[in-house]
Chains A and B, each alone.
Chain A
Amino acid sequence: MPSDPVVTTDLSVRIGGRKVALSPSAAFTLAEQLIRGATRAIIVEEADRAAVLDTVRAAERA
């Protein structure tokens, strides 16, 4: 598995041994997409957890 991405001060991101040079707007776009993806994943995870808890509680009550 490639190593964790690293952002460098010259505004590049290293992804698994590859270095991608970014413009400021490309960096902001990438940041926005990462935050959107992370937010979606966190919401889905929370919803799943709540659903599991509901199922467990319902089973306990039965």
Chain B
Amino acid sequence: MADPAARAVVSDDGSTIWLTAYTAAGEAVPVALQPARAVALAGELIEAAVPKLNVTEKSSVACPVKTRGGDPYSDQRRTRDAKIRTLAPLVAPGKSIEQQARDIAGRLARYRPMPDEASPERRLMQEIVEVGLPVGADRIRKILGEQ
């Protein structure tokens, strides 16, 4: 059974880290720590202290962070833009960005999904349409210009 002590103090003389227990009577019990052990001990202290805080950890999954403003569809937009960039050299290779943008916009407007899309272009168009964000020639031109 360990004797109770009043407090624990960390000190550092520049070369050695000391963790000292002081009793109420003023008796000191110092222990020298290697830096790695000091870090490990800090981790153990934090691990033991967190459950005592009596707070429920809020994860970003349980309580999604509410963003003020910004683009709520940024992920979908990024996916769509990446697919448009992949599609451009397939449907209009060697053409100017303006021409590629017009071609892609026209194809997407005419596109009707088939049960089994075999060609890579049609599969990409299907994925772009499935993202569900409308996109016109001007926007496609900007997306292709950002490459």
Residues of A in contact with B (beta carbons under 8 Å apart): 1-5, 7-9, 11, 13-24, 26-28, 30-42, 44-45
Contacts and interface: CB of A to CB of B under 8 A. Distances in A.
B31 A41 contact: no
Interface residues of B, number: 39
Q: Which of A3, A18, A21, A28 has the most CB of B within 10 A?
A: A18
A37 B19 CA distance: 11
- Per DSSP, are chain B's interface residues mostly helix, strand or loop, or mixed? mixed
Contacts of B23: 18
Nearest to A48: B15
A42 B96 CA distance: 57
A37 B16 CA distance: 8
Task: Give 8 closest A-B pairs by Cβ, nearest first.
Answer: A19-B2, A18-B5, A27-B49, A31-B42, A33-B10, A15-B21, A18-B21, A38-B35
